[in-house]
Homo-oligomer: A and B are copies of this chain.
Amino acid sequence: MNVVSYRPRPDDLSYTFGGRPAVESVTPGAVLELYTEDCFGGRVRGTGDLPSQVCEFPYLNPVTGPFHVEGAEPGDTLALHFVSIEPARDWAVSTTFPHFGALTSTHTTATLQPPLEEAVWMYEVDAERRTVRYRARRGDFAVEMPLDPMHGTVGVAPAAAEARMTITPDAHGGNMDTPELRAGVTVYLGVNVPGALFAIGDGHCRQGHGEVCGTAVEAAMNTVVAVELIKGVVTPWPRLEDDRHIMSTGSARPLEDAYRISQHDLVTWTASLTGLDELDAYQLVSQGGEAPVGNVCDTNYTMVAKLPKAYLGDPDVYDSAHARLRALGEEYLSR
A residues contacting B by CB (< 8 A) are: 15-16, 18-19, 57-58, 94, 96, 102-105, 107-117, 119, 121, 132, 134, 136-139, 141, 143, 145, 159-165, 206-217, 250, 252-257, 259-261, 263-265, 267, 274-280, 282-293, 296, 301, 303, 310-313
Contacts and interface: CB of A to CB of B under 8 A. Distances in A.
Contacts of A275: 139, 141
Contacts of A211: 286
Q: How many copies does the complex hold?
A: 4
Nearest to A159: B58
Question: Which 3 A/B pairs are nearest by Cβ-Cβ distance?
Answer: A58-B160, A209-B291, A254-B254
Chief secondary structure at chain A's binding surface: loop
A183 to B, nearest CB: 19
A213 B286 contact: yes
Contacts of A104: 111-113
Contacts of A159: 58
A160 B14 CA distance: 11
A57 B328 CA distance: 38
A75 to B, nearest CB: 13
A259 B255 contact: yes
